[in-house]
């Protein structure tokens, strides 16, 4: 089969060792995708634990045979760690696996840490005709007959497809027979017993990282729900974790304050990156008497929230720390999507449509749109799918060449000759091998990337000038526009449910958890499970294949 140069990010490389010869010996499937593409050799992913092979075989002397290696879907990789410990020869392996999974996805509870943790009948009661009384002198307004509580033993299935074969598209199998294994996670919602007396609660909300549509919607719902439980002391911590510094004053929050905040984008509380360390944050919480903390943020923020949770446990400080995953990048593991993502994709349509109109109206017009997505191309992929106006979608997970016979520029030339115009959508983290490394990091330690959008725009101009063909290139960078806007209706609903569930989780006595949507149901997850690495687009997923089908783009390798 000739020579097999390997392509992949540094991140992929550790998974390659030792799997190649095994995987190449297994049966393969041939399929063709998109115009002008060679057959693809798709090898069953499960045979090589964490990688899937995606081989493009082309004949011709100019081009060596190529095998590209992609990291598997992150969750598949996560379960690979569990798989490694499984002895499939053991007749009870499935039961043991399910049991181990249950343990891993257990959500930390007050009673795990405090033997004296007391519970009370819930004060969350939707049959109230009047607001909860000031001092609870008459007792709590509970209603034990109400059928609105979630049984703590309720579970939601994490994986809902029963794959019959490891060869089935996107199959995630645990054993070579693709045995059906049940993976249950905790159902979110109000519990009948609560572990905080509302009059003893001081709740704080903090929003960290970059902006995201829907932050205000979540803040609003948290405040409203806390008030329904009877909490009177609710504050906002300004400017992310930085707000725990002494120089910042808390922002008092009430239903009245938050009533209309969801009508605008941004965060009522402000956001920031960087800030004090965990010890300082917990010191500040103790000084301020905060015993319920709602943390809205992405991977970094959740790492912080989990560290705060652990530090509180270490100090014997009875606090509920509950996260609400926020990121337009949609790079959090295990959930259907994060809030704000849908809105960002919708907002991106305006930029794509403008790029299309500009390109289509010009003589040999090319529109280039750069969209956010630091390490994952979800926004670019979904925006391309939604618009139907993208000819080339470039994401960080899929390597590509700009120059050469199979490069993006050659295909662009083909598009201008056949269609007359073309639109490219590129995620900010894509093609970083082409741009100069800045070595810069932001205040949170995230790498600051070089501008791939500007680079592509310049390369297109240079290329067409060199070959003497006209091309009218228009570049649009809607970066901050797609995340500074107000949440759309679907995100508005998601934020509402997540905000309410965050409060139910805290009152239910859980801490070190985050809320999410999984197979359309709402769940609680232990924080470490959702942040072990950023979720990325699986190049062998049905969704990426659908995107390729829609754009009609070939491989650019």
Ligand X SMILES: Nc1ncnc2c1ncn2[C@@H]1O[C@H](COP(=O)(O)OP(=O)(O)O)[C@@H](O)[C@H]1O
Ligand Y SMILES: O=P(O)(O)OC[C@H]1O[C@](O)(COP(=O)(O)O)[C@@H](O)[C@@H]1O
Residues 6+ apart with CB under 8 A from 426: 368, 369, 370, 371, 380, 393, 394, 452, 453, 456
Residues near Mg ion (CB under 5 A), total: 3
Q: Considering all CA atoms of the chain, what is the largest pairwise distance in Å, rounded to the nearest integer?
A: 87
Q: Please say which residue, 368 or 380, places its beta carbon nearer to Mg ion.
A: 380
**Annotation-wise, does 273 bind a ligand?**
yes
Rounded least distance, CB 297 to ligand X, Å:
4
State both tokens at 94.
């499935």
Residue 340's binding partner, choosing from ligand Y, Mg ion, ligand X, none, with beta-carbon cut-off 5 to 8 A by kind?
A: none
Stretch 437-456 residues interacting with ligand Y (CB under 6 A): 442
What stretches of 231-290 adopt beta strand conformation (E)?
A: 233-237, 251-252
Residue with tokens 């499937």: 29
Q: Taking CB under 6 A as the rule, does residue 335 contact ligand Y?
A: no
The residue range among 64-72, 291-299, 352-360, 391-399 that interacts with Mg ion, by the rule CB under 5 A, is 291-299
Its sign, for the CA torsion 522, 524, 529, 530, is positive
> Does residue 329 carry a catalytic annotation?
yes
Q: Which of residues 279-298 bind ligand Y (CB under 6 A)?
A: 298
Minimum CB separation from ligand X for residue 208, in Å?
Answer: 4
Task: Give the distance, in angstroms, between the CA of residue 84 and the centroid of all CA atoms in the same chain.
Answer: 25
Site stretch for Mg ion (CB under 5 A), options 189-197, 259-267, 292-300, 494-502: 292-300
- Tokens coding 449: 């990337």
| Part of the chain binding ligand Y (CB under 6 A), chosen from 139-147, 324-332, 383-391, 400-408 | 324-332
Residue 327 C-beta: closest distance to ligand X, Å:
5
Q: Helix 74-84 crosses helix 93-104 at what angle (to 10 degrees)?
A: 120
Distance of CA 173 to the CA centre of its chain: 22
- Judged by DSSP in three states, 346 sits in helix
The reply, when asked if residue 228 is annotated as ligand binding, is: no
Closest C-alpha to 190, from 102, 125, 114, 119 = 125
* Helix axes 489-507 and 215-229, enclosed angle (nearest 10): 40
The smaller minimum CB distance to ligand X, of residues 294 and 556, is found at 294
Among 166, 214, 300, 509, indicate the residue that binds Mg ion (CB under 5 A): 300
Beta bridge partners of 52: 70
Q: Sign of dihedral through CA atoms 479, 480, 481, 484?
A: positive
Does 491 contact ligand Y by CB under 6 A?
A: no
Q: Which does 373 bind (CB under 5 to 8 A by kind): ligand X, ligand Y, Mg ion, none?
A: ligand Y
298 is in an annotated binding site: yes
CB-closest chain residue to Mg ion: 298
Alpha-carbon 81 to chain mean position: 21
DSSP class per residue in 65-80: -EEEEEE--HHHHHHH
Chain position carrying tokens 């609105």:
148
Dihedral angle, C-alpha 506, 510, 516, 522, nearest 10 °: -90
Query: Is residue 33 annotated as involved in ligand binding?
Result: no
Q: Does 351 bind ligand Y (CB under 6 A)?
A: no
**Listed residue (55, 63, 516, 60) closest to 327, CA to CA:** 516
117 neighbors 193 (Cβ within 8 angstroms): no
Q: Say which entry of ligand X, Mg ion, ligand Y, none residue 478 contacts (CB below 5 to 8 A, set by partner kind).
A: none
According to CB under 5 A, which residues from 410 to 449 bind Mg ion? Answer: none
The reply, when asked if residue 480 is annotated as ligand binding, is yes
Query: How many angstroms separate the CA atoms of 93 and 343, rounded?
Result: 43
* Complex with ligand X: residue 77 or 305, whichever CB lies closer: 305
Q: Which of residues 240-269 bind ligand Y (CB under 6 A)?
A: none
- Which run of H or E residues covers position 506? helix 489-507
Nearest approach in angstroms of CB 495 to Mg ion is: 19
Q: Output 430 or 513, the one with its CB closest to ligand Y.
A: 430
Q: From the list ligand X, ligand Y, Mg ion, none, which binds 274 (C-beta under 5 to 8 Å, kind-based)?
A: ligand X
Site residues, ligand X (CB under 6 A): 208-210, 240-241, 273-275, 297-301, 303-304, 307, 327, 444, 446
Per CB under 5 A, contacts with Mg ion among 161-180 are none
Distance CA 225, CA 501 (A): 9
Q: Quote the least distance from Cβ 307 to ligand X, whole Å.
A: 5
Cβ 474 to Mg ion shortest distance, Å: 30
Q: From the candidates 12, 49, 143, 329, which is the catalytic residue?
A: 329
Q: How many Cβ atoms from other residues are within 10 Å of residue 62's Cβ?
A: 8
* 2 annotated binding-site participant: no
328 contacts ligand Y (rule: CB under 6 A): yes
Binding site residues, ligand Y, CB under 6 A:
209-210, 298, 327-329, 372-374, 428, 442, 483
* Binding-site residue ranges: 210, 273-274, 298-301, 327-329, 372-374, 428, 480-483
Contacts to Mg ion by CB under 5 A: 298-300
Annotated catalytic sites, by residue?
Answer: 329
Residues at the binding site for Mg(2+) are 299
């Amino acid at each position: 089969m000739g020579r097999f140069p390997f392509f992949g990010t540094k991140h992929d490389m550790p998974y390659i060792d030792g799997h190649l010869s095994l995987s190449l010996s297994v049966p393969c499937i041939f399929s063709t995708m998109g115009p002008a593409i060679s057959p693809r050799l798709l090898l069953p992913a499960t045979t090589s634990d964490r990688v899937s092979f995606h081989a493009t075989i082309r004949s011709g002397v100019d081009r060596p045979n190529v095998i590209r290696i992609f990291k598997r879907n992150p969750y598949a990789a996560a379960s690979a760690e569990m798989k490694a410990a499984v002895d499939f020869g053991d007749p009870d392996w499935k039961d043991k696996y399910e049991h181990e999974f249950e343990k891993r996805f257990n959500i930390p509870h007050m009673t795990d840490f405090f033997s004296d943790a007391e519970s009370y009948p819930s004060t969350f009661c939707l049959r109230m005709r009047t607001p909860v009384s000031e001092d609870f002198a008459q007792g709590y307004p509970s209603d034990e007959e109400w059928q609105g509580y979630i049984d703590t033993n309720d579970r939601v299935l994490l994986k809902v497809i029963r794959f019959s074969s490891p060869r089935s598209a996107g199959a995630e199998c645990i054993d070579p027979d693709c045995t059906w294994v049940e993976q249950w996670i905790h159902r979110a919602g109000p519990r009948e017993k609560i572990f905080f007396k509302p009059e003893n609660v001081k709740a704080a909300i903090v929003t960290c990282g970059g902006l995201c549509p829907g932050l205000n919607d979540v803040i609003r719902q948290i405040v409203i729900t806390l008030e329904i439980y009877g909490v009177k002391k609710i504050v906002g911590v300004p400017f992310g974790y930085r707000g725990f510094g002494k120089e910042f004053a808390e922002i008092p929050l009430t239903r009245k304050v938050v009533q209309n905040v969801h009508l605008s984008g941004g965060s009522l509380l402000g956001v920031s990156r960087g800030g004090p360390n965990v010890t300082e944050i917990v010191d500040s919480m103790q000084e301020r008497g905060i015993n319920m903390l709602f943390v809205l943020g992405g991977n970094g923020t959740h790492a912080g929230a989990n560290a705060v949770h652990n530090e509180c446990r270490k100090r014997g400080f009875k606090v509920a720390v509950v996260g609400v995953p926020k990121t337009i990048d949609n790079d959090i593991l295990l959930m259907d999507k994060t809030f704000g993502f849908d809105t960002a994709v919708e907002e991106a349509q305006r930029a794509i449509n403008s790029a299309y109109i500009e390109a289509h109206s010009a003589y040999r017009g090319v529109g280039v749109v750069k969209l956010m997505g630091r390490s994952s191309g979800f926004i670019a992929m979904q925006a391309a799918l939604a618009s139907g106006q993208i000819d080339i979608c470039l994401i960080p997970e899929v390597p590509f060449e700009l120059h050469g016979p199979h490069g993006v520029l050659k295909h662009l030339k083909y598009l201008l000759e056949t269609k007359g115009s073309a639109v490219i959508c590129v995620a900010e983290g894509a093609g970083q091998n082409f741009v100069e490394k800045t070595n810069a990091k932001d205040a949170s330690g995230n790498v600051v990337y070089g501008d791939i959008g500007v680079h592509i725009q310049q390369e297109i101009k240079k290329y067409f000038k060199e070959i003497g063909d006209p091309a009218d290139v228009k570049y649009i960078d809607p970066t901050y526009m797609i995340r500074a806007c107000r949440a759309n209706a679907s995100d508005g609903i998601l934020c509402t449910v997540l905000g309410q569930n965050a409060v139910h989780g805290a009152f239910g006595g859980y801490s070190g958890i985050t809320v999410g949507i999984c197979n359309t149901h709402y769940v609680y997850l232990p924080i470490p499970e959702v942040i072990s690495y950023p979720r990325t687009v699986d190049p062998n997923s049905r969704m990426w294949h659908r995107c390729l089908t829609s754009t009609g783009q070939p491989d650019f390798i």
